[in-house]
């Protein structure tokens, strides 16, 4: 290890990771909830499922950001990302980088971010494990 002295900041790094992922999922979920009709057409899902998806993203985002049931929130958001990746690969036939729909590299990045949060418990700066 080149910089072992940086390990003392690992929990702060995990907090920043949780906050960044939470902000992205919160904004995505909020889009689903504020206009579920238009959003359901964009993603090719029913209006009710879009509302459910938005609520799940918002709840998971708040869990990550505030450190409440962090691992459960990470698992839920990982399921959302697996669904998004599945949709992009098999339904929309989008490549990794994607010419349209942004590709699934973005979804994979957030899946891995949630996996790190799951495996580490989100670090020490959590309210309720």
17-31 residue pLDDT tens:
999 999 999 999 999
Q: Report residue 126's pLDDT band, with 50, 70 and 90 as the boundaries.
A: very high
Domain spans, the chain: 4-120
**pLDDT, tens digit (0-9, with 9 covering 90-100), for 51-74:** 999 999 999 999 999 999 999 999
Please state the separation of Cα 29 from the chain's center in Å: 10
Give strand pairing partners of 128: 68
- Burial string for 36-74 (b: 16+ CB within 10 Å, else e) reads beebbeebebeeeebbebbebbbbbbbbbbbbbbbbebb
Q: Tell me how many degrees the CA angle 115-118-122 measures, rounded to the nearest 5.
A: 115
Averaged pLDDT of the chain: 95
pLDDT over threshold 80, residue 129: no
CA atoms of 5 and 70, how far apart (whole Å): 26
If pLDDT is split at 50, 70 and 90, which confidence band does 15 have? very high
Two tokens, residue 96: 């990794």
> Looking at residue 58, what is its pLDDT?
98
């Amino acid at each position: 290890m080149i910089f072992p002295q940086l390990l003392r900041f690992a929990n702060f790094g995990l907090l920043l990771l949780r906050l960044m992922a939470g902000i992205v999922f919160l904004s995505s979920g909020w889009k689903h909830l504020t206009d579920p009709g238009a959003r359901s057409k964009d993603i090719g899902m029913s209006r009710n499922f879009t509302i459910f998806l938005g609520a799940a993203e918002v709840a998971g985002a708040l869990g990550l950001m505030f450190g409440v049931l962090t691992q459960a929130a990470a698992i839920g958001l990982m399921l959302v990302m697996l669904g998004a990746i599945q949709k992009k690969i098999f339904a929309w036939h989008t490549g990794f980088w994607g010419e349209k729909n942004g590709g699934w590299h973005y979804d994979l990045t957030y899946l891995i971010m949630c996996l790190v949060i799951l495996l580490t418990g989100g670090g020490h700066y959590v309210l309720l494990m």
